[in-house]
Structure 1
Amino acid sequence: MTQPLPLFARNQVIVAIWGLVCVLVLSVATGVSSLLWNQRQAELAEQAQQLARIAAGAEVGVNRTLLALDVLLATTEELLGQPLAAGAGSAISEPMADRLLAAVARQSLNVRHVALLDASGRPLASSSAATGRLVDDPPPDFVARALAQRVPTLLIGEPLLAPRSAERVIYLARPVLLPGGQRLLAVAQVPLEALAAVLLQGIGATPIELTLERASGELLLGLATAQGLSDAARASGPPLSDLWEQAANGWHGQTRLRGVPGQVAGRALMYGDLWVTASLAQSEVLRDWQQQVWLVGGAALLLALTLVISGGLAASHIARMQRARAEVAQSKALLDQALASMVSGFVLLDAQHRVVQWNPRFEEFFPWLASVIQPGVSFRQVLEATVHYHLPGASAEEKREWVRLRMRRQVQPQGTLEQRLPSGRSVQITERMTPDGGLVIVYHDVTELRQAAAEIELLAFYDPLTGLPNRRLLLRRIDEACAATERSGEHGALLFIDLDRFKTLNDTLGHEMGDLLLQQVGHRLQAGVRSGDVVARLGGDEFVVALLHLPPDLALATEQARTVAGQILGLLARPYTLGEQIHHSSASVGVTLFSQNSQAALEILKQADIAMYEAKAQHGNVLRFYDPAMQTVLHQRASLLADLKQALPLQQFRLHLQPQFDAHGRLLGAEALLRWQHPERGLVPPGLFIPVAEDSDLILAIGQWVLVSACELLVRWQADARLARLHLSVNVSARQFRQADFPALVGQCLEASGARAQRLELELTETLVLEDVNDTIAKMHQLRARGVRFALDDFGTGYSSLAYLTRLPLHRLKIDRSFVQQLGESPSDDVVVQTILGMARNLDLEVVAEGVETPRQHAFLQAHRCAIYQGYLFARPMPIEEFETLARGQGEADAASVSFSI
């Protein structure tokens, strides 16, 4: 029995409460102050790390750019060796040298102009001469300093304003030594805007100041992301040479452009005494923290007020609680403790079925009885008050019948009764007779138990992602449908649906977007069928629709199934909204019909699966009905795949080369074509085994083998002067190119073999390029920096925007053979080819015409100045040895004439 506290004890409790409130308020104030200070230090440390990362990224970008420019200027010695040697002793062959320098300038997007100066600073050749544009010459003092170097290194000048172009530029120079001992100077003009773009790579909208400066503080390039390029000549603050020890982790001081207090991070470059720095004003660093001070401070004040109010309420509540406890402690303490400890509801009735006692849990189950239930009230009254909530929409007679049946059950209680409450919870009612004729009724909450059972059933029979029936439930429904067709004579149809290019979506946008697409597909399928039909998900991107109750007539049933399948294809082809992106997809549908003579559910599902793969082989977005002949084709495909898996280990692949010629019939290089020499099947055409390899992971290993073989072949050619000039083109599949480490794999092939990257050309299709343009451009630039060239294959057959051509580092366009074969016969194809050739000339791209088979086609292409030809008119694909014999037959003269084909 609980005793009320005396007045002195109550006062002690209230004092303790207010003391606790004071302690909590002080704790909150201390904690908030510590939190804000730690957040301030964390903000400063985080921004310092971010600036260090930005400076490191700028260092890598500028080093890579300067190294590329250094290599570009250094290679002029190799490229210009012959033409300059030819002009030694007299005037240098300027047209040839100008064209070569123009080719050098095009190799880098950062170079505006490349020139070659003699020892007196007089221009000998210029990349601008080939295009007819005038470009300013470097300052004489810069030329003198560059030529005065004893060891040829890259010299970087000071920024200046070009008079002709009114553009801020900087000159880079490197002495080159010709085989005859002549010492020249290769100079490149680089716009500061290009270097600014390198500094800005990977930087968001944060107002950061970036500089490229000398250790002495001389500013070469200053860039504030919020204001653009700076005109300052020197950086603010002390020279970087005095801050060398602090550069690794940054330092607090003045920003390098505005000179305001802030954080600075700097990195020394690999060239001379150049540095890159990243600065951020302290006001920007702590802007978010200052906002947090207001928010957290306000929240802390609100919390303190809440604690004070809570303390007052608690003290008042304790006073009231003690007064109430004193009034009821004597009569209710023991019984309340016993009944309150029960987790189930409890009601005790006497022999006349009147209420004797109940517990609080019972009132929780039936809160509307609070004003009805009391000792001595008839249980019928309790039921009459409950029925209005249990059957809210029932008639008066139905409610009376429910009460009557419930009372009759109490005469001879048997087992348990389950009742669902208006709150949605389920209770299990157990009634037991007492020795005096009364009744004990226990209400046990079984909601969690029923929910667990429902979840178990859901996991066993439904797909957790889409909520659709899974494979197990689908097979059960198909068996039930087959049994129903035997009784009714009707037909049913099974539609096996597979999304096209779903793996590409997962690889490019991530599995979260893939799951979102699968959910939308499930919703569309449910909306596109009748209420009696079944939509299920087997797993991955595979769905099944079972159409039931189709007409007994097979033709009508087939037509209805075809109509529904066509509607589903249309539904799934509509655009999808995945987050902020619009995604276009399609599906392949296989259909099979079943009736009373059908096989088991697994066999029916297998037939629809086979029909779906036949639709998949037609490049998707089509439907195919099952035909027994498809089973034979599937077995043949499986056999071909099994043999294909052994082709690489057994060294059955061969490379054949199709020569490529210029307009004068001189051999320039070849395209590598894969052939499979099977010991039993013979020479298997690529059209048979390449699609099988594309559908599996074999295409990755095969593509890597082709790259390795091509590099080894280039190395072999390098040892022969008559073959060293030739280039080799290799087709790259979409799955191979989409590997995250594809540039690294190509680089490993080149490094391991020692092949010259400039002689390797990778051919990409328009479809591959447009799958993920940004990823494509990034990988192409990585490989282009190594010297690898690119050609756009089957140009004109895709759906690309020509704007992408200006962003891609391409060397060639290949006109698809479908246009070439109709030349002179189809005016529209003639116009397309002429347009491609004209556009390529404007973009400084070479054009390769594929499939040239007749003199008429050759004459048309030659008349419109096509550069390179490939086709049966010149040569068919041939083994490597035959190609090398053909190349050696061209002679040394032809080799010299194409030595500058890059």
Structure 2
Amino acid sequence: MKSKNGPPRQLAASTLALAALFIVVVFGLAVFAVLEMRSRAVDDARDQIDRFLSGSVAAVNQNLLGVDLLLADLGMLLRPVGNEDMAAAAQRAAISMQSLARHSLLVERLEVLRPDGSVVSPPGREAVQLSPAFTARLMGQPVPELMTTAPSLSPRTSQQVLYFTRMVRLPDGTQGIALAEVQVASLARLLAHGAGIDGMEVTLESLSQGLLVSVPPRSEIAEGSASLPELRSAADARGIVRANSRLMGQDALMALRPTLNQDIVLSAGLPMEAVLEGFRTERNLIVGVTVLLMLMVVGVSAYALHQLREQWLRRREALHAKSMLDQALESMSDGFVLLDAEGRVAAWNRRFAEIFPQARVALEARMHMVAVESAVSGRSAEEAALLPPSLPAPGEQELELPDGRTVVVVKSPTPNGGMVCVYRDTSEKRRHLADIVEGKAQLQATLDALPDVLLELCLDGRCIGFHSARASLLDIGDPVGRTLSEVLPGDAAIQIMAAMREAYLKGLSFGKQFERRASQGTAWFEISASRKLVGEGADARFIVILRDITDRMSAQLQIDHLSFYDNLTGLPNRRMLLHRLQSAIDANVRRERQAALLFLDLDHFKTLNDAQGRNAGDVLLKQVAQRLQQLMREGDTVARLGGDEFVILIEGLSADSATAVMQTQAFGEAVLAELGRPIQLPAMTYHGTCSIGATLISASSASLEDLLKQADIAMFHAKTAGGDVLRFFEADMQTTVNARASLESELRAALKARGQFLLHYQPQVTSEGRVVGAEVLIRWLHPQRGLIPPAAFIDVAEETGLISPIGLWALEQACKQLDDWSNHPRRRHLTLAVNVSARQFRKEDFADKVREVLIRTGADPSKLKLELTESLLHDEVAETIRKMKSLAAIGIRFSMDDFGTGYSSLSYMAQLPLHQIKIDKFFVSGIGTNPKIELIVQTLIGMAANLDLEVVAEGVETQAQLDFLTRNGCRVCQGFLFGRPQPVEVLESQLDTELIPL
């Protein structure tokens, strides 16, 4: 691989690797030499310490032995000679001791003491004070040995001295103490005599008394220095260890030697600073030489790389120049041939071979140009051989090739006598020129067909070019030479000049418009302006296109109308209402007035729509819109939100709230009266009403959406009150709505959670007391409110559509129970009745969902009864019958719940695939108290018998009611007389008895 600006990487890497290897070798040798020199310096120091200690220990032992022998003989000197008494002997001994002290190199004086400290000899001399502990230890020796005190100040000479002592026997047979005073300085000179090594530290120490003598002199051992036991235990074979010195605490080579006296040891230490002093000088020399060698290697390597790079760059530049030339030749759109001085082909490019493929053989053979031109012109080899081999004449000529192409040849001589020949194929250019001419013609034809007006204008608005539209409402004649203000109305000229200024700055302007009124009507034009490219120094030119957009503007106005107005009634829609509502709030602030918002909802509109069709509903909505518009005052707004909901905005009400309420009430009653009048529909006269909710709008009113919400809530309460009434918004209405919304939210959460819904079962019992089935009734076990009955939440579930998933859950649980009972001999005959709401039943996929539940649970369809209400017969009866038949075909049975309480046509009874009707508890409760109700019950039972339908009576609470029903042919009853709705476990325990006690 080659680097971009240097020699090949392999060569550079080899050079660098060789330099690096040499550096590593030099560095390694230097490191080895330094380590070897350091080791030699340390070994030399060890030898010095060893030699010093050997000599010093011998000298110390010799002197200590002399002192010991001298003290041992003092006891003999005190013995009387001949007839001497003790005093004379002591006097004689004193003279001898003085003589011995004078001849000793160490001892300054000698004394003999008693253990109590009194002087035996020399008599009359002041005794040396020894510590009691020292005296006791000395006198307690089993074998007399030399002992020394710690250094102390001599009272006689004021010099630091040591007292060497030995226990001796006195002439009277008692034990005494022989004492020799030795100056510390004398011992120091003895030690220093052999310590001629720079930095050497020497100590003479007593294991019991501590430091005795040191060189250099110190009064105590340095803190942090190695202890004597550590020196003894860590020493090598020669007794030398590296540790902190005893005197200075420096890193040093230390050695410890014992003397003949077990209590006295000699140590010597040489600091590493002194050990390595000479080594450092040699090391620095080696490092300097090594660095110099490395720098030389780096310099030589850099120079070599530089030379290689320069050589490579020169070669690369040559190759690059050749490559650039080759690329230039190959990228030429013209053919190229270079001839040498003899007229032979020296070089050519690919384009020449493409133009003249028949000349490729002559080119590759680098033949004479005569042969090449002969191949191009189609001459034979024999004809080409007859032509003189000379250079072609310079100049330009045009060749017409046999295939119809035209080639222009330009031949130019070169300085070295050769020639450059350039061949340009102009066939494409000629075709391009022809295309341009044709394109201009097509452009002119296109311009002639365009409906736009095209102007070429100067910066001052003067027209210098013009193309008139084929047909245009903008009749400006011939504007060339005139300004815009002379040919167009003022507003149009202003807009065009503004577009030109924008195009001058940005290069393009689009979107500006102007209106032109003429006898044919109003026309709209859109301006497009662009700055025309002109030569440097020339005045700016602009191309301006005026396009007729009258049709588009008309469509846009219609779209805007649809955006703000209802398509059916022509009333403002929600978007326009919110805009005017905001304006009303702003006006209230300025004028200190109030406004009112009325929310209208037509009563029973859905019933009309379902019964008479959507067309009738649309007619009703249009007539309601017309009547409301007739009631509007100036400034009021009526809007349709959608469906049968209208909103009226009344402005200009009194600032006094009570008066504003009265004004709103009066207006609302007028609306109720107007919409209460009969309305003629295509097929009938309709008598309708509406429910109105109202809220006042003041300067401090809530947001727009909140105002609409308040009016909607008030309308809801008006509709709840029965309709045809107006209700004003009150705060407690919001509370009711919030509670309802909270209940809806909790219902949705209960569906997602598990275990909040549960089923209770109310038994259905025959007149003999046998349980044949049960009705499934849902309960809501709220985590905070406890058990909630269906009446508290079913209505909300119906309105929100949650009844469908709740009902599907109840159906699946009932089917699971049926499947469970099918495995129990005493329960497999039981049926379960499940209530299905009209909203749930009308779902398109209701029948499919029921089948899926049966497949999923494995329940027997013949044991399942679906209880429907008569409200299903109000509309879409055919679809209801179709679904019932499809489910009855798989065995499901149907029961008509609360039969007789709703509105239905008895004609459908024969068409519905019913198996059972249920007499509502309202009729059952009237048995025994109302003969008319009893007659209705008898009629219902008889009708069911004639239609071959089963009858179940709901709400049976007394024995009298049961007896009446049994007498009249009702065989199955349900009610508190037999049991309340209860969990399945209670029902199953009840089934363990054969009959229900009646």
- TM-score, with length taken from structure 1: 0.48
Structure with the bigger RCO (C-alpha within 8 Å, sep 6+) is 1
